Amino acid sequence: MRKYAAAFSALAFVLGAGEARADVKLDVTYSTYQLRGLSKKAIHQDLHRVAQKDADGLIEGELRDDWHWNFRFVAAENSCRISSDEIILRLNILLPAWEDQARANSALRSVWDSYFRELKAHEDSHIKIAVDAAEQISKMVHGATAAGSCAALEQTLDLAARQIVDSSEKAQDRFDANDKSISVLE
C-alpha cells in the first residue's frame, strides 16, 4: 500500500539542501479526503468507510508519481552529446483531513496528531525515494556524450532513465513492505 505523505517542508528541505539540480522540476500537489468522528473508534470506522482499498488494504495516504523528461542532443562528427536535459516529476499526495478536529477533546486530538505525523513521515520517505531517482536520472544524462548517432544515445539514455524509475518503484514497494509503523487508529 502506498502510504506516502509530505508537506511543503519536505520539498523545501530537498531544494534548500541544494541537492535538487536546476534541471529537475518538481511539481507537488495535494489532495485530501475527509474523515469524521469524535472518538478513535468512530474515526477508524469512518476511515474504513471512506478510504479506498487496494490488495494490501486501506489506502490511508497515497503518492502518485508522473514522470517526463526532455533531452536535446547535438551531433558532432561520429558522436553525440546531450545539450539540455529536463526531468519533470509530478507528485500528487493524498492525505486525510479530520473534519471534527476543532470539536474534539485534547486527548483525541493528540492521538490524531501522532497518527497524522507518522503518515506524513512515511510519505516524506516516499517523496525522497522519487526525488532521489529524478536526481539520479539528471546526473546520468547531464553532459552525456557517446560515440555514434544521437538516435542511439537517446535510446540508451531513455532506457536507462526508465530503469531508474522502475527501480525506484521497487524501492517504494520495499519501503511499504518494511514500514508498518502506522497503526495509531487501529
Candidate ranges 21-29, 77-85, 154-162, 168-176; the one touching Zn ion (CB under 5 A): 168-176
Any contact of residue 169 with Zn ion (CB under 5 A)?
no
Q: Phi then psi for 139, rounded to 5 degrees? A: -65, -40
3-state class of 48 per DSSP? helix
Q: Could you tell me the maximum CA-CA distance found in the chain, to the nearest angstrom?
A: 73
Candidate ranges 1-9, 16-24, 93-101, 106-114; the one touching Zn ion (CB under 5 A): 1-9
Q: Which is nearer to Zn ion, 72 or 174 (CB)?
A: 174
Any contact of residue 120 with Zn ion (CB under 5 A)?
no
Any contact of residue 2 with Zn ion (CB under 5 A)?
yes
Q: Which is nearer to Zn ion, 2 or 120 (CB)?
A: 2
Q: How far is the CB of 75 from Zn ion (least distance, A)?
A: 43
Any contact of residue 176 with Zn ion (CB under 5 A)?
yes
- Please, are residues 92 and 31 in contact by the beta-carbon 8 Å criterion? yes
3-state class of 95 per DSSP? strand
Any contact of residue 154 with Zn ion (CB under 5 A)?
no
Q: d(Cα 50, Cα 45) in Å, to the nearest integer?
A: 9
Q: d(Cα 153, Cα 63) in Å, to the nearest integer?
A: 32
Q: Which residues bind Zn ion (CB under 5 A)?
A: 2-3, 176
